[in-house]
Amino acid sequence: MTNRPPAAYEGESDRAMWAALRRHTQARIGLGRAGSALPTRHRLELQAAHAAARDAVHTPFAPDVVAAALTGFPTIRVRSAAPDRLGYLQRPDLGRRLDAADRAHLPRDDWDVVFVVADGLSSRAVHEHAAAMVHATTALLPADLRVAPVVLAEQARVALGDDIAHAMGARMTVVLVGERPGMSAADSLGAYLTYAPRPGTTTDADRNCLSNIRPPLGLAYATAAARLTALMKRAHELGRTGVDLKDESTESAEAPALTPTT
């Protein structure tokens, strides 16, 4: 052990170096060691982050919470064909299909857009951010645009919105869905815009997506709503969404003009 540095080198300056390096990355660097393992504090911090992510995945969707926050909007509740969380996680095909009885209850009309609030992989993201996103987005839409009742969908994947829009006769669907939780973000909301969706044939390449909506750390509601409504306007002009429709918006939150389609 002749080349072990004297203890005087250790301590403050070492901590200062790692603190400086952590300004450049959120990675869990410079954690120190207990033998070969992590120090207790870091082990527990990792478990806490994992627990938050796991709880987000398994927290049951509470449509009442979202409905109560959606003041002024009629809401309809549906389930996918996935029987429970276990079935949902193992069978993505079931999460993309409406429960048959629920499909029959959806009101069919000449809607321009239907907002679908889907629990996805994080109910927490939906509880915290979905209603605010519906408010922020609809505030930027022209008053004569026909917005369907908001559909609150349980055990739902993004493509369930295709089934819903098709059943309701809506031209566009905006699915607000809880994203797969990471260790540093368990409450991230995604917004998927699809024009003229057709269940079974519409694919992810036919959608436009805004990700990481989770103020204050992620995308703010106003910014996300401005980008989403700009995409909706262009989607209406082009008659499609997806790879042909690029998000060319600036970060401006100013309301874009949207031509009603009725």
Partner 1 sequence: MSTYTARLGGRTHSFPSLAALLAAASPERSGDRLAGLAADSAEARVAARWALAEVPLARFLAEPVIPYEDDDVTRLIVDTHDARAFAPVAGLCVGEFREWLLSDAADAGSLAALAPGLTPEMVAAVSKLMGNADLVAVARKARVVTAFRSTIGLPGRLATRLQPNHPTDDPAGVAAALLDGLLLGSGDAVIGINPATDSPKAVRDLLELLDGVIRRYAIPTQSCVLCHVTTSIDLMERGAPVDLVFQSIAGTQAANASFGVTLGLLDEAYDAARGLGRGTAGQNALYFETGQGSALSANAHHGVDQQTVEARAYAVARRYDPLLVNTVVGFIGPEYLYDGRQILRAALEDHFCGKLLGLPMGLDICYTNHADADDDDIATMLTMLGVAGASFVICTPGGDDIMLNYQSASYHDALYLREVLGLRPAPEFEDWLSRIGLLDDAGAIRDVTGTAHPLTAIGRELAA
Residues that bind partner 1 (CB under 8 A): 1, 3-5, 9-11, 13-14, 16-18, 20-22, 24-31, 33, 35-38, 42, 46-47, 49-50, 53-54, 56-57, 89-93, 121, 180-186
> Based on CB atoms, which residue is closest to partner 1, 49 or 255?
49
C-alpha distance from residue 245 to each of 208, 223, 240 (Å): 7, 18, 8
Binding-site residues from annotation for adenosylcob(III)alamin:
158, 179, 209
- Minimum CB separation of residue 141 from partner 1 in Å reads 32
- Minimum CB separation of residue 89 from partner 1 in Å reads 5
- Minimum CB separation of residue 187 from partner 1 in Å reads 12
CA atoms of 39 and 45, how far apart (whole Å): 10
> Based on CB atoms, which residue is closest to partner 1, 9 or 257?
9
- Minimum CB separation of residue 167 from partner 1 in Å reads 24
- Closest C-alpha among 63, 55, 105 to residue 85: 55
> Based on CB atoms, which residue is closest to partner 1, 122 or 138?
122
Q: How many residues does the chain have?
A: 262
> Based on CB atoms, which residue is closest to partner 1, 35 or 216?
35
Asked if 229 and 115 count as a contact pair (C-beta separation under 8 A), the reply is no
Number of separate helices (H) and strands (E) present in the chain: 9, 6
Binding-site residues from annotation:
158, 179, 209
- Minimum CB separation of residue 135 from partner 1 in Å reads 28
What count of other Cβ atoms lies within 10 Å of the Cβ of residue 85? Answer: 16
> Based on CB atoms, which residue is closest to partner 1, 50 or 108?
50
Backbone torsions φ then ψ of 191, nearest 5 degrees = -125, 125
> Based on CB atoms, which residue is closest to partner 1, 20 or 101?
20
What count of other Cβ atoms lies within 10 Å of the Cβ of residue 35? Answer: 6
What count of other Cβ atoms lies within 10 Å of the Cβ of residue 126? Answer: 30
Asked if 30 and 21 count as a contact pair (C-beta separation under 8 A), the reply is yes
Sequential DSSP letters for 108-130: P---SEEEEEE-TT-HHHHHHHH
DSSP SS3 for 30: coil
- Minimum CB separation of residue 29 from partner 1 in Å reads 4
Helix (H) / strand (E) containing 106: none
